[in-house]
Structure 1
Amino acid sequence: MTSFDTIFEDLGLIDYKKAWDYQEDNFQQIVDVKLFNREHPDDQKPVIHRLIFCEHPHVYTLGRSGEAGNLLITDEFLKKIDASFYKINRGGDITYHGPGQIVGYPIFDLEQLKLGVKEYIHLLEEAIILTLSAFDIKSERLDGATGVWLDTGTPHARKICAIGVRASRFVSMHGFALNVNTNLDYFNYINPCGFVDKGVTSFRKEKGEAMDLSQVKRVLKNNLQTVFGLNFV
Protein backbone atom coordinates (compact mmCIF):
# COMPACT_ATOMS: atom_id res chain seq x y z
CA MET A 1 0.00 0.00 0.00
CA THR A 2 1.28 3.49 -0.86
CA SER A 3 1.92 5.69 2.17
CA PHE A 4 1.48 9.45 2.16
CA ASP A 5 3.81 11.77 4.08
CA THR A 6 1.79 13.60 6.71
CA ILE A 7 2.57 16.03 9.51
CA PHE A 8 0.51 15.36 12.64
CA GLU A 9 -0.15 18.14 15.14
CA ASP A 10 -2.20 18.30 18.32
CA LEU A 11 -2.91 21.98 18.95
CA GLY A 12 -4.70 21.37 22.27
CA LEU A 13 -7.39 23.89 23.26
CA ILE A 14 -7.39 26.63 20.63
CA ASP A 15 -9.74 29.45 19.60
CA TYR A 16 -11.94 28.38 16.67
CA LYS A 17 -11.04 31.30 14.40
CA LYS A 18 -7.33 30.88 15.10
CA ALA A 19 -7.54 27.20 14.12
CA TRP A 20 -9.60 28.04 11.01
CA ASP A 21 -6.97 30.56 9.88
CA TYR A 22 -4.25 27.97 10.50
CA GLN A 23 -6.16 25.46 8.40
CA GLU A 24 -6.51 27.98 5.58
CA ASP A 25 -2.74 28.64 5.61
CA ASN A 26 -1.91 24.93 5.42
CA PHE A 27 -4.59 24.34 2.80
CA GLN A 28 -3.08 27.11 0.64
CA GLN A 29 0.41 25.65 1.00
CA ILE A 30 -0.75 22.31 -0.43
CA VAL A 31 -2.67 24.02 -3.24
CA ASP A 32 0.42 26.11 -4.10
CA VAL A 33 2.60 22.98 -4.30
CA LYS A 34 0.04 21.28 -6.54
CA LEU A 35 -0.08 24.30 -8.88
CA PHE A 36 3.73 24.49 -8.95
CA ASN A 37 3.99 20.78 -9.82
CA ARG A 38 1.45 21.20 -12.60
CA GLU A 39 3.49 24.03 -14.12
CA HIS A 40 6.90 22.38 -13.48
CA PRO A 41 6.50 18.67 -14.27
CA ASP A 42 10.28 18.14 -14.25
CA ASP A 43 10.87 19.82 -10.89
CA GLN A 44 8.23 18.33 -8.62
CA LYS A 45 7.90 19.29 -4.95
CA PRO A 46 6.54 16.74 -2.45
CA VAL A 47 2.99 17.22 -1.20
CA ILE A 48 2.97 16.96 2.60
CA HIS A 49 -0.48 16.23 4.00
CA ARG A 50 -1.44 17.49 7.46
CA LEU A 51 -3.62 16.01 10.21
CA ILE A 52 -4.59 18.38 13.02
CA PHE A 53 -6.27 17.45 16.30
CA CYS A 54 -7.54 20.11 18.70
CA GLU A 55 -10.29 21.16 21.09
CA HIS A 56 -12.20 24.44 20.95
CA PRO A 57 -13.79 26.67 23.57
CA HIS A 58 -17.62 26.59 23.27
CA VAL A 59 -18.53 27.48 19.67
CA TYR A 60 -21.32 26.85 17.16
CA THR A 61 -20.51 26.67 13.45
CA LEU A 62 -22.97 26.81 10.57
CA GLY A 63 -22.09 25.26 7.21
CA ARG A 64 -22.87 26.69 3.77
CA SER A 65 -26.11 24.74 3.38
CA GLY A 66 -27.23 25.31 6.96
CA GLU A 67 -30.31 27.08 8.24
CA ALA A 68 -29.62 29.96 10.64
CA GLY A 69 -32.86 28.99 12.43
CA ASN A 70 -31.17 25.82 13.67
CA LEU A 71 -29.39 27.99 16.24
CA LEU A 72 -32.16 28.23 18.81
CA ILE A 73 -30.78 31.00 21.03
CA THR A 74 -30.18 34.75 20.90
CA ASP A 75 -26.84 36.55 20.76
CA GLU A 76 -27.36 37.57 24.38
CA PHE A 77 -27.83 33.96 25.46
CA LEU A 78 -24.73 32.97 23.46
CA LYS A 79 -22.73 35.38 25.61
CA LYS A 80 -24.38 34.07 28.77
CA ILE A 81 -23.20 30.50 28.05
CA ASP A 82 -19.76 31.77 27.01
CA ALA A 83 -20.10 30.56 23.41
CA SER A 84 -19.38 32.07 20.00
CA PHE A 85 -20.92 31.52 16.56
CA TYR A 86 -19.40 31.38 13.06
CA LYS A 87 -20.79 30.91 9.57
CA ILE A 88 -18.14 28.89 7.75
CA ASN A 89 -17.29 27.42 4.35
CA ARG A 90 -17.75 23.69 4.99
CA GLY A 91 -20.66 21.52 3.95
CA GLY A 92 -23.39 20.51 6.39
CA ASP A 93 -25.58 22.40 8.82
CA ILE A 94 -24.97 23.54 12.40
CA THR A 95 -22.79 21.82 14.97
CA TYR A 96 -21.20 22.48 18.35
CA HIS A 97 -17.55 22.27 19.39
CA GLY A 98 -16.32 22.43 22.95
CA PRO A 99 -13.86 21.10 25.52
CA GLY A 100 -13.70 17.32 25.82
CA GLN A 101 -14.38 16.84 22.11
CA ILE A 102 -11.72 15.70 19.63
CA VAL A 103 -11.89 17.94 16.58
CA GLY A 104 -9.93 16.64 13.59
CA TYR A 105 -8.87 18.67 10.58
CA PRO A 106 -7.32 16.50 7.85
CA ILE A 107 -5.80 18.68 5.13
CA PHE A 108 -5.27 16.04 2.47
CA ASP A 109 -4.64 16.11 -1.26
CA LEU A 110 -7.52 13.82 -2.22
CA GLU A 111 -6.20 13.65 -5.78
CA GLN A 112 -2.96 12.08 -4.54
CA LEU A 113 -4.94 9.72 -2.29
CA LYS A 114 -7.10 8.88 -5.35
CA LEU A 115 -10.29 9.62 -3.41
CA GLY A 116 -13.51 11.40 -4.28
CA VAL A 117 -15.22 13.40 -1.54
CA LYS A 118 -17.79 10.67 -0.82
CA GLU A 119 -15.07 8.02 -0.48
CA TYR A 120 -13.06 10.38 1.72
CA ILE A 121 -16.01 10.92 4.09
CA HIS A 122 -16.67 7.16 4.10
CA LEU A 123 -13.08 6.52 5.25
CA LEU A 124 -13.30 9.22 7.94
CA GLU A 125 -16.41 7.46 9.25
CA GLU A 126 -14.59 4.12 9.07
CA ALA A 127 -11.71 5.38 11.25
CA ILE A 128 -14.20 6.70 13.82
CA ILE A 129 -16.20 3.45 13.83
CA LEU A 130 -13.00 1.43 14.39
CA THR A 131 -12.02 3.77 17.24
CA LEU A 132 -15.38 3.42 18.98
CA SER A 133 -15.19 -0.36 18.57
CA ALA A 134 -11.81 -0.36 20.37
CA PHE A 135 -13.68 1.02 23.41
CA ASP A 136 -16.56 -1.47 23.04
CA ILE A 137 -19.02 1.05 21.58
CA LYS A 138 -20.88 -0.30 18.53
CA SER A 139 -21.50 2.42 15.95
CA GLU A 140 -22.50 2.68 12.31
CA ARG A 141 -23.43 4.95 9.45
CA LEU A 142 -26.94 6.31 8.94
CA ASP A 143 -28.31 6.41 5.39
CA GLY A 144 -28.74 9.97 4.19
CA ALA A 145 -26.72 11.52 7.02
CA THR A 146 -22.97 11.89 7.36
CA GLY A 147 -21.24 11.17 10.64
CA VAL A 148 -21.20 8.21 12.99
CA TRP A 149 -24.28 7.05 14.87
CA LEU A 150 -25.46 4.61 17.52
CA ASP A 151 -28.66 2.53 17.41
CA THR A 152 -29.70 3.55 13.91
CA GLY A 153 -33.08 2.19 12.88
CA THR A 154 -34.45 2.67 16.40
CA PRO A 155 -36.18 5.62 18.10
CA HIS A 156 -32.95 6.05 20.10
CA ALA A 157 -30.65 6.86 17.15
CA ARG A 158 -28.01 9.32 18.32
CA LYS A 159 -24.92 10.89 16.81
CA ILE A 160 -21.51 10.60 18.45
CA CYS A 161 -19.41 12.14 15.68
CA ALA A 162 -20.30 14.96 13.29
CA ILE A 163 -18.53 15.31 9.93
CA GLY A 164 -18.49 18.41 7.73
CA VAL A 165 -15.84 18.92 5.07
CA ARG A 166 -14.84 21.27 2.32
CA ALA A 167 -12.77 20.26 -0.72
CA SER A 168 -11.36 22.73 -3.22
CA ARG A 169 -8.83 21.82 -5.93
CA PHE A 170 -9.20 18.32 -4.46
CA VAL A 171 -7.68 19.44 -1.13
CA SER A 172 -9.76 18.82 2.02
CA MET A 173 -10.45 21.13 4.96
CA HIS A 174 -12.55 21.05 8.13
CA GLY A 175 -13.35 17.49 9.20
CA PHE A 176 -14.92 15.76 12.20
CA ALA A 177 -15.91 16.34 15.82
CA LEU A 178 -15.95 13.28 18.08
CA ASN A 179 -17.74 13.65 21.40
CA VAL A 180 -15.63 12.13 24.17
CA ASN A 181 -16.13 14.02 27.45
CA THR A 182 -18.22 16.73 25.80
CA ASN A 183 -20.83 18.72 27.77
CA LEU A 184 -23.89 17.60 25.81
CA ASP A 185 -26.08 20.34 27.33
CA TYR A 186 -24.74 22.69 24.66
CA PHE A 187 -26.49 20.64 21.98
CA ASN A 188 -29.84 21.62 23.53
CA TYR A 189 -29.47 25.08 22.00
CA ILE A 190 -29.32 23.87 18.37
CA ASN A 191 -30.92 21.38 16.00
CA PRO A 192 -27.69 19.38 15.60
CA CYS A 193 -26.80 19.04 11.92
CA GLY A 194 -30.34 20.23 11.19
CA PHE A 195 -32.05 17.20 12.80
CA VAL A 196 -34.95 17.83 15.15
CA ASP A 197 -35.75 14.15 15.85
CA LYS A 198 -32.37 12.64 16.74
CA GLY A 199 -30.15 12.92 19.79
CA VAL A 200 -26.44 13.24 20.41
CA THR A 201 -24.19 11.26 22.70
CA SER A 202 -20.58 10.92 23.83
CA PHE A 203 -18.10 8.32 25.02
CA ARG A 204 -18.71 9.58 28.56
CA LYS A 205 -22.48 9.14 28.33
CA GLU A 206 -22.24 5.69 26.75
CA LYS A 207 -19.55 4.38 29.12
CA GLY A 208 -20.88 6.09 32.26
CA GLU A 209 -17.51 7.65 33.09
CA ALA A 210 -15.02 10.24 31.84
CA MET A 211 -12.52 8.89 29.33
CA ASP A 212 -8.78 9.45 29.02
CA LEU A 213 -8.83 11.85 26.07
CA SER A 214 -5.18 11.21 25.20
CA GLN A 215 -5.87 7.46 24.94
CA VAL A 216 -8.82 8.02 22.58
CA LYS A 217 -6.66 10.37 20.49
CA ARG A 218 -3.92 7.74 20.22
CA VAL A 219 -6.31 5.07 18.97
CA LEU A 220 -8.00 7.49 16.57
CA LYS A 221 -4.69 8.73 15.17
CA ASN A 222 -3.59 5.13 14.52
CA ASN A 223 -6.88 4.28 12.81
CA LEU A 224 -6.69 7.34 10.56
CA GLN A 225 -3.10 6.39 9.71
CA THR A 226 -4.16 2.87 8.74
CA VAL A 227 -7.34 3.77 6.86
CA PHE A 228 -5.73 6.50 4.75
CA GLY A 229 -2.23 5.00 4.47
CA LEU A 230 -0.47 7.92 6.18
CA ASN A 231 3.23 8.08 6.97
CA PHE A 232 3.76 10.53 9.84
CA VAL A 233 6.91 12.62 9.32
Structure 2
Amino acid sequence: MSQPLLRVLGRVDYASTVDAMRGFTEQRGDDTPDEIWLCEHAPIYTQGIAGRAQHVLNPGGIPVVQTNRGGQVTYHGPGQVVAYPLIDLKRLRIYVKEYVYRIEDAVLRTLAAFDVTGHRVAGAPGIYVKLDDPFGHAALTGPRRDPFEGLGKIAALGIKVSQHRTYHGVALNVAMDLTPFEGIDPCGYAGLKTVDLAKIGVSTDWDSVARQLGDRLAANLAP
Protein backbone atom coordinates (compact mmCIF):
# COMPACT_ATOMS: atom_id res chain seq x y z
CA MET A 1 0.00 0.00 0.00
CA SER A 2 1.16 3.55 -0.71
CA GLN A 3 1.14 6.56 1.60
CA PRO A 4 -2.23 7.81 2.83
CA LEU A 5 -4.13 10.02 0.39
CA LEU A 6 -4.00 13.69 1.37
CA ARG A 7 -7.24 15.66 1.03
CA VAL A 8 -7.12 19.42 1.58
CA LEU A 9 -10.67 20.37 2.51
CA GLY A 10 -10.16 24.03 3.46
CA ARG A 11 -12.73 25.65 5.78
CA VAL A 12 -15.38 23.08 6.66
CA ASP A 13 -18.15 22.67 9.23
CA TYR A 14 -16.98 20.77 12.31
CA ALA A 15 -20.04 18.60 12.97
CA SER A 16 -20.49 17.49 9.38
CA THR A 17 -16.77 16.69 9.12
CA VAL A 18 -16.94 14.48 12.21
CA ASP A 19 -19.99 12.73 10.73
CA ALA A 20 -18.07 12.18 7.49
CA MET A 21 -15.07 10.76 9.35
CA ARG A 22 -17.26 8.42 11.34
CA GLY A 23 -19.04 7.28 8.19
CA PHE A 24 -15.76 6.68 6.36
CA THR A 25 -14.42 4.67 9.31
CA GLU A 26 -17.57 2.55 9.73
CA GLN A 27 -17.89 1.75 6.03
CA ARG A 28 -14.26 1.14 5.12
CA GLY A 29 -13.01 -2.36 4.38
CA ASP A 30 -9.67 -4.09 4.76
CA ASP A 31 -8.51 -2.77 1.39
CA THR A 32 -9.77 0.81 1.74
CA PRO A 33 -6.82 3.20 1.32
CA ASP A 34 -5.96 5.36 4.32
CA GLU A 35 -6.59 9.09 4.04
CA ILE A 36 -5.52 12.27 5.85
CA TRP A 37 -7.92 15.22 5.81
CA LEU A 38 -6.52 18.73 6.27
CA CYS A 39 -8.92 21.51 7.17
CA GLU A 40 -9.80 24.41 9.44
CA HIS A 41 -13.02 25.20 11.29
CA ALA A 42 -15.08 28.20 12.31
CA PRO A 43 -14.73 29.04 16.04
CA ILE A 44 -15.84 26.10 18.18
CA TYR A 45 -14.99 24.44 21.49
CA THR A 46 -14.92 20.64 21.47
CA GLN A 47 -15.13 18.40 24.53
CA GLY A 48 -13.54 14.96 24.67
CA ILE A 49 -15.34 11.96 26.13
CA ALA A 50 -13.69 12.58 29.52
CA GLY A 51 -14.22 16.34 29.29
CA ARG A 52 -15.38 18.10 32.43
CA ALA A 53 -17.78 21.02 32.29
CA GLN A 54 -15.75 23.03 34.81
CA HIS A 55 -12.94 23.36 32.27
CA VAL A 56 -15.21 25.55 30.12
CA LEU A 57 -14.82 28.86 31.93
CA ASN A 58 -16.43 31.44 29.65
CA PRO A 59 -17.40 30.31 26.15
CA GLY A 60 -18.56 33.81 25.25
CA GLY A 61 -21.03 32.68 22.62
CA ILE A 62 -18.71 30.16 20.95
CA PRO A 63 -20.51 26.80 20.56
CA VAL A 64 -19.40 23.95 22.84
CA VAL A 65 -19.77 20.55 21.18
CA GLN A 66 -19.45 17.13 22.81
CA THR A 67 -17.35 14.68 20.79
CA ASN A 68 -16.28 11.04 21.01
CA ARG A 69 -12.54 11.71 20.86
CA GLY A 70 -10.16 11.34 23.76
CA GLY A 71 -8.95 14.25 25.85
CA GLN A 72 -10.51 17.33 27.40
CA VAL A 73 -11.75 20.61 25.97
CA THR A 74 -9.95 22.45 23.19
CA TYR A 75 -10.65 25.24 20.71
CA HIS A 76 -10.68 25.22 16.91
CA GLY A 77 -10.72 28.35 14.81
CA PRO A 78 -9.51 30.01 11.61
CA GLY A 79 -5.74 30.05 11.23
CA GLN A 80 -5.31 26.57 12.70
CA VAL A 81 -4.37 23.50 10.64
CA VAL A 82 -6.47 20.52 11.71
CA ALA A 83 -5.32 17.12 10.45
CA TYR A 84 -7.57 14.08 10.61
CA PRO A 85 -5.68 10.85 9.84
CA LEU A 86 -8.04 8.02 8.89
CA ILE A 87 -5.66 5.14 9.43
CA ASP A 88 -5.95 1.36 9.75
CA LEU A 89 -3.61 0.61 12.67
CA LYS A 90 -3.87 -3.13 12.08
CA ARG A 91 -2.48 -2.63 8.59
CA LEU A 92 0.42 -0.65 10.05
CA ARG A 93 0.88 -3.27 12.78
CA ILE A 94 1.10 -0.60 15.47
CA TYR A 95 -0.83 0.18 18.64
CA VAL A 96 -2.30 3.48 19.83
CA LYS A 97 0.79 4.55 21.79
CA GLU A 98 2.99 4.26 18.70
CA TYR A 99 0.34 6.01 16.60
CA VAL A 100 0.30 9.00 18.97
CA TYR A 101 4.09 9.06 18.94
CA ARG A 102 4.13 9.20 15.12
CA ILE A 103 1.59 12.02 15.01
CA GLU A 104 3.58 14.04 17.52
CA ASP A 105 6.76 13.32 15.58
CA ALA A 106 5.14 14.70 12.42
CA VAL A 107 4.28 17.91 14.29
CA LEU A 108 7.83 18.18 15.65
CA ARG A 109 9.24 17.78 12.14
CA THR A 110 6.79 20.34 10.78
CA LEU A 111 7.87 22.87 13.42
CA ALA A 112 11.53 22.10 12.68
CA ALA A 113 10.90 23.05 9.05
CA PHE A 114 10.22 26.56 10.39
CA ASP A 115 13.25 26.42 12.74
CA VAL A 116 11.01 25.95 15.80
CA THR A 117 11.88 23.36 18.44
CA GLY A 118 8.87 21.54 19.81
CA HIS A 119 8.76 19.47 22.98
CA ARG A 120 6.74 16.64 24.45
CA VAL A 121 5.51 16.74 28.06
CA ALA A 122 5.11 13.35 29.72
CA GLY A 123 1.48 12.50 30.36
CA ALA A 124 0.17 15.51 28.43
CA PRO A 125 -0.29 14.64 24.73
CA GLY A 126 0.41 17.40 22.25
CA ILE A 127 3.42 19.56 21.43
CA TYR A 128 4.77 22.54 23.35
CA VAL A 129 7.36 25.27 22.73
CA LYS A 130 9.57 27.27 25.08
CA LEU A 131 8.05 30.73 25.25
CA ASP A 132 11.38 32.47 25.89
CA ASP A 133 13.38 30.47 23.33
CA PRO A 134 11.20 28.75 20.73
CA PHE A 135 14.11 28.46 18.30
CA GLY A 136 16.63 27.04 20.80
CA HIS A 137 17.53 23.37 20.59
CA ALA A 138 18.06 22.60 24.27
CA ALA A 139 15.93 19.78 25.62
CA LEU A 140 13.61 20.20 28.57
CA THR A 141 15.31 19.38 31.83
CA GLY A 142 13.61 17.65 34.72
CA PRO A 143 12.09 16.79 37.00
CA ARG A 144 9.99 19.96 36.94
CA ARG A 145 7.58 20.90 39.72
CA ASP A 146 5.33 22.52 37.11
CA PRO A 147 5.72 20.54 33.87
CA PHE A 148 4.29 23.46 31.85
CA GLU A 149 6.47 26.20 33.35
CA GLY A 150 7.78 28.42 30.57
CA LEU A 151 5.90 26.48 27.89
CA GLY A 152 3.10 27.26 25.49
CA LYS A 153 1.00 24.61 23.78
CA ILE A 154 1.13 24.90 20.00
CA ALA A 155 -0.51 21.60 18.97
CA ALA A 156 -3.34 19.65 20.62
CA LEU A 157 -4.11 16.00 20.01
CA GLY A 158 -7.31 14.02 20.48
CA ILE A 159 -8.08 10.75 18.72
CA LYS A 160 -10.74 8.08 18.40
CA VAL A 161 -9.97 4.46 17.55
CA SER A 162 -12.75 2.11 16.45
CA GLN A 163 -11.98 -1.45 15.34
CA HIS A 164 -8.29 -0.51 14.97
CA ARG A 165 -9.22 2.43 12.72
CA THR A 166 -8.58 6.04 13.66
CA TYR A 167 -10.30 9.36 13.26
CA HIS A 168 -10.19 12.82 14.84
CA GLY A 169 -6.55 13.93 15.08
CA VAL A 170 -4.28 16.90 15.74
CA ALA A 171 -4.56 20.70 15.53
CA LEU A 172 -1.52 22.93 14.95
CA ASN A 173 -1.86 26.66 15.62
CA VAL A 174 -0.52 28.82 12.78
CA ALA A 175 -1.85 32.39 12.91
CA MET A 176 -5.11 32.69 14.82
CA ASP A 177 -6.99 34.70 17.40
CA LEU A 178 -5.78 33.04 20.60
CA THR A 179 -8.24 34.88 22.85
CA PRO A 180 -10.82 32.04 22.91
CA PHE A 181 -8.30 29.78 24.64
CA GLU A 182 -8.68 32.07 27.66
CA GLY A 183 -12.29 30.90 27.94
CA ILE A 184 -11.23 27.33 28.78
CA ASP A 185 -8.65 25.32 30.67
CA PRO A 186 -6.88 24.10 27.50
CA CYS A 187 -6.88 20.30 27.46
CA GLY A 188 -8.00 20.40 31.09
CA TYR A 189 -4.96 22.27 32.47
CA ALA A 190 -5.78 25.49 34.32
CA GLY A 191 -3.53 28.36 33.29
CA LEU A 192 -1.89 26.49 30.41
CA LYS A 193 -0.68 29.04 27.85
CA THR A 194 -1.46 28.51 24.19
CA VAL A 195 0.59 29.94 21.33
CA ASP A 196 0.74 29.86 17.56
CA LEU A 197 3.55 30.23 15.05
CA ALA A 198 2.75 33.91 14.53
CA LYS A 199 2.99 34.62 18.26
CA ILE A 200 6.53 33.24 18.44
CA GLY A 201 7.64 35.20 15.39
CA VAL A 202 7.18 32.79 12.47
CA SER A 203 5.69 34.42 9.38
CA THR A 204 3.99 31.79 7.25
CA ASP A 205 0.53 30.86 5.98
CA TRP A 206 -2.03 28.11 6.44
CA ASP A 207 -1.31 26.41 3.13
CA SER A 208 2.42 26.12 3.77
CA VAL A 209 1.95 24.59 7.22
CA ALA A 210 -0.83 22.28 6.02
CA ARG A 211 1.40 21.00 3.24
CA GLN A 212 4.32 20.40 5.61
CA LEU A 213 2.18 18.66 8.23
CA GLY A 214 0.29 16.60 5.69
CA ASP A 215 3.47 15.35 4.01
CA ARG A 216 5.07 14.40 7.33
CA LEU A 217 1.96 12.64 8.60
CA ALA A 218 1.69 10.72 5.34
CA ALA A 219 5.34 9.62 5.58
CA ASN A 220 5.02 8.61 9.24
CA LEU A 221 1.77 6.69 8.70
CA ALA A 222 2.67 4.80 5.54
CA PRO A 223 2.65 0.97 5.66
Matches within 5 A, 1:64-213: 64-73=49-58, 77-78=60-61, 83-151=62-130, 155-207=149-201, 209=203, 211-213=204-206
* 5+ residue gaps, structure 1: 35-45
Is 218-227 or 86-95 further displaced after alignment? 218-227
Residue 64 of structure 2 aligns to a residue whose secondary structure is strand
| Deviation for aligned residue 1:225 | 2.0
Q: What is the alpha-carbon distance in structure 1 between the residues aligned to residue 166 and residue 151 of structure 2? A: 28
Residue 102 of structure 1 aligns to a residue whose secondary structure is strand
Residue 176 of structure 1 aligns to a residue whose secondary structure is strand
| Deviation for aligned residue 1:208 | 5.5
| Deviation for aligned residue 1:217 | 1.3
Q: Which stretches of structure 1, 4 residues or more, deviate above 4 A after TM superposition?
A: none
Q: Which amino acid is the alignment partner of residue 201 of structure 1?
A: V
Residue 57 of structure 1 aligns to a residue whose secondary structure is coil
Match of 2:26 among 25, 28, 44: 28
Identical-residue share of aligned pairs (%): 34
Residue number in structure 1 paired with 2:207:
214
Residues 114 and 202 in structure 2, CA contact (< 8 A), matched pair in contact too: no
**TM-score (ref. length: structure 2):** 0.88
Q: Which amino acid is the alignment partner of residue 27 of structure 2?
A: Q
Q: Which amino acid is the alignment partner of residue 57 of structure 1?
A: A
Deviations 1:128-175 (A, max 9, x none): 000000101111111110001113556211110000001010000100
| Deviation for aligned residue 1:50 | 1.2
Residues 55 and 102 in structure 1, CA contact (< 8 A), matched pair in contact too: yes
Match of 2:222 among 198, 205, 229: 229
Q: Is the counterpart of residue 62 in structure 1 residue 41 in structure 2? A: no
Q: Which amino acid is the alignment partner of residue 50 of structure 1?
A: E
Compute the RMSD of aligned alpha carbons: 1.5
Residues 152 and 193 in structure 2, CA contact (< 8 A), matched pair in contact too: yes
Q: What is the alpha-carbon distance in structure 2 between the residues aligned to residue 57 and residue 179 of structure 1? A: 14
> How many pairs does the alignment contain?
208
Higher helix proportion (structure 1 or 2): 1
**TM-score (ref. length: structure 1):** 0.85
Deviations 1:42-86 (A, max 9, x none): xxxx22111101100000000011111111126xx31xxxx2111
Match of 1:53 among 35, 38, 41: 38
